[in-house]
Amino acid sequence: MKFSIITPVLNGAAFLDAAIASVRNQTRRDFEIIVVDGGSSDGSPDIVRRHMAEEPAIRLIEAPGLSQYASIARGFEAATGEIFAWLNADDLYTPWAFETVARRFARARDVQWVSGLPGCWDGKDNLQFIRAEAWRPRALIRAGWCHMDLLGFIQQESVFFRRALYDGLSEKDRSAFAGADLAGDFILWKRFARRARLDVIPTSLGGFRRHGDNRSSRRIEAYMEEARRDGAVYLPWPLTGLARRVFQMASASRAMALARIEDELTRPPAPTG
C-alpha cells in the first residue's frame, strides 16, 4: 500500500525542509513525495533537490504560475500510489501516520477516506494542541457545515484517501477542486462525502503550523467567501454557538470511545496458564 504525498509550494523555504523530513521520517517506508513548485524565488526547489539526492522517492515538478490546488491536482495526476494526501509546505506529519492509516485501510476495505485528531505546531516546532474531533457526520460534511464559522475545518494534513475515491470524481468535481483559490479542501471534502463517509482514527496524524503568514484576517475572509459560494452553511450567532458546543462535546466523547475500542483491538492477548 503505497502513499503518494503531494506538496504544493510557492516560496515556502522557511518550513519546507521540516515538512519533507516529516514524510521521510515515517515508520512506514512505502511512499513517494511529489513537490509541485509554482515558481518559487526563495530557494525552495534547491531544498527539494537536496532531499532528492538522499531519497529517490522524491520528485520535483516545476510549474511556474500554477495555483495551489491546480498544483495538487497536477501532483495527483503524476502519482503512482494507492493512498493520496497532500501536505502543505508548512505542515507536518506525525512519524506513525502512514503506518496507522495503512492498518486502518487494510482492516476496513469499505473505508475510502480517513482523518485523525488534528494538531497545531508553532513556527519553532512546538506542538500547541491536538483537537479531539472524532465525529464528522457524512451528511453534515456534504451539506457544508464543516468550516471555520460553524463546526470547524476538516484539516487537510490529517486526511488520507484512496486513489479510487479521487479518481471516481466527475471531471466537473475535479475541476472545481483544481480551480479553487483557497477553499479547495472544503470543496473536495463535500464531494467526497457524497460518495463515502469519513472514518476518524483516534490519534494525531498531522498538523498545521500557526505563524504570521497564514493568520491574515483578509486571507481567512477570502477563504470563507469561496466556501460560501460552494454552499457553506451559516446560522444566526446563538444557533452557531450552540451547534459548535454540541458538536465539540459529541466529538470529544466519540474520540474517547474510539480510543477505548482501538485499545481493545491492539492490546496483546493476556498470558495464559
DSSP letters for 54-90: H-TTEEEEE-TT--HHHHHHHHHHH---SEEEE--TT
Rounded to 10 degrees, the C-alpha dihedral 159/164/233/131 comes to -10
How far is 4 from 87, CA to CA, in rounded Å? 10
HSE-CB of 217 using CA atoms within 13 angstroms: 0
Give the residue ranges of DSSP H helices in the chain: 13-24, 44-54, 68-78, 97-107, 138-143, 163-167, 171-178, 184-193, 217-229, 237-266
Structural domains of the chain in order of their starting residue, each with its CATH number: 3-266 (3.90.550.10)
pLDDT class of 82 with cuts at 50, 70, 90: very high
Considering all CA atoms of the chain, what is the largest pairwise distance in Å, rounded to the nearest integer? 68
pLDDT class of 184 with cuts at 50, 70, 90: very high
- Which cell is 247 given? 458538536
Looking up cell 483578509 gives 218
Report pLDDT digits (tens) over 83-130: 999 999 999 999 999 999 999 999 999 999 999 998 999 888 888 988
